[in-house]
Structure 1
Amino acid sequence: MKRTMDIVLSMIAIIVFIIPMSIIAILIKLDSEGPIIYKQQRPSKEKKLFNIYKFRTMRTDTPNVSTEELGDPSQFITKLGKFLRKSSLDELPQLFNILLGDMSIVGPRPALYNQYELIKMRDELGVNSIRPGLTGFAQVRGRDFISDKEKVKYDKYYLDNMSIWLDLKIILWTIRSVVKSEGVRVG
């Protein structure tokens, strides 16, 4: 049922957002040099690596590390990238990751491939047994403002209580956060 919901909702969202995504793609090309789509290896279900897709928000010479490790990430973020990150529009290409089966709409956010401690904690609690999500319970409970230990606690809660109803609540909380311009950002 969850996979069917992912396919149907991601297809609807792609149709709804195809024109805004096309406009964003043109604006990225006008704003800075480099590819429109940023691809990065992330672990999916059972830690199988996949390429996560995002609209590129940083310069092409940015080191491939988590945002927290960049020191002052603002020096690498493009002008358009600031807006895309704040509005979470940079995440729209992940609708294709959902359609391909790499991700789900709701689930734990995929860790960076080099977030070894987070991956290990998720392994210990079985969280890596489910598909990562575009949004998740940890994101609506604190996103970047909580520790990895807290993220894993929320991820485990989601794993233990997965249901269509919880997914719908998380989707609604995510929409509310994005509309309020809080963004739902992680990695």
Structure 2
Amino acid sequence: MYKNHIKKLFDYLGAVIVLTMLSPLFFVVFIILFITTKNSVFYHQKRVGQGGVMFDIYKFRTLPKGTPILVGKQRIKIRKRVSRFARFLRTTSIDELPQLFNVLKGDMSLIGPRPVVPQEVELVNLRKKLGAMNVKPGLTGLAQVNGRKQLNNIQKARYDAIYAQHVSFKGDVMIILHTLPIIIERDGVRRFFEKKH
């Protein structure tokens, strides 16, 4: 019952609450990007959704318009094209917050496998094979709280499949509670300010 009905309400109410709470942050980020970028503040990109259906994901723009889509180790090539402020948005995951609008639209869930670009063929195929495509992609997920970027594609797909097979309210709450500390401690604010520029 939760997976097919209550989760939708959970996602909608959660997205509304978070958007309301973070509206001042949205406004500040919007103004800074509007002043510092020559392109639009937001950008959309095709991602693979539930059942393999493509959808447009929303993010704050952190790369110049026309930057090629690179996956895996190739991503290191675009680091020099990222400004310090944009790098801060990326390392703290603030650039991902507009995806709350994807949740409101019904393209995504608060919790689920992270949506990937179609160019990540191996991961997409592994998810299909293991049954991880049966749920909506999420802002955060089981793989994100169990290693995130340290995981290889097989490990990510397995965690995604485990989540898809055992969706529950308790599980979603636990993933949410584990997500924020991980962003701050492992991938976010501390790393950004400790890194030499």
Interval of TM-score (by shorter of Structure 1 and Structure 2): over 0.9
- The residue number in structure 2 matching 1:173 is 178
- The residue number in structure 2 matching 1:130 is 135
- The residue number in structure 2 matching 1:74 is 79
Contact 1:59 1:78 (8 Å CA) reproduced: no
- Number of matched pairs: 183
- The residue number in structure 1 matching 2:55 is 50
Contact 1:63 1:70 (8 Å CA) reproduced: no
Contact 1:31 1:78 (8 Å CA) reproduced: no
| Matched AA of 2:175 | I
Extract unaligned runs of 5+ from structure 2. Answer: 1-5, 189-197
1:72 offset after TM fit, Å? 2.9
The verdict on how the C-alpha distance between 1:125 and 1:52 changes in structure 2, with shifts beyond 3 A counting, is same
- The residue number in structure 2 matching 1:145 is 150
Extract unaligned runs of 5+ from structure 1. Answer: none
**Runs of at least 4 residues of structure 1 off by over 4 A?**
none
The alignment's TM-score, normalised by the length of structure 1, stands at: 0.92
Give the counterpart of 2:68 among 63, 71, 79: 63
The alignment's TM-score, normalised by the length of structure 2, stands at: 0.88
Counterparts of 1:150 and 1:22, CA distance in 2: 37
Larger Rg: 2
1:180 offset after TM fit, Å? 2.6
1:178 offset after TM fit, Å? 2.5
- Kindly provide the CA deviation profile for residues 67-122 of structure 1, in whole angstroms up to 9, marking residues without a partner as x: 63234332121221111011111111000000100000000001112111111111
Q: Does 1:111 align with 2:122?
A: no
Q: Does 1:98 align with 2:103?
A: yes
Give the counterpart of 2:19 among 8, 14, 19: 14
1:145 offset after TM fit, Å? 1.6
Contact 1:104 1:132 (8 Å CA) reproduced: yes
- The residue number in structure 1 matching 2:194 is none
Give the counterpart of 2:89 among 84, 89, 102: 84
The alignment yields a C-alpha RMSD, in angstroms, of 1.4
- What SS is found at the alignment partner of 1:14? helix
Contact 1:41 1:51 (8 Å CA) reproduced: yes
| Matched AA of 1:90 | D
Counterparts of 1:90 and 1:133, CA distance in 2: 15
1:47 offset after TM fit, Å? 1.0
Deviates more, 1:64-73 or 1:149-158: 64-73
| Matched AA of 2:82 | I
1:32 offset after TM fit, Å? 2.2
Over the matched positions of the two proteins, sequence identity in percent amounts to 34
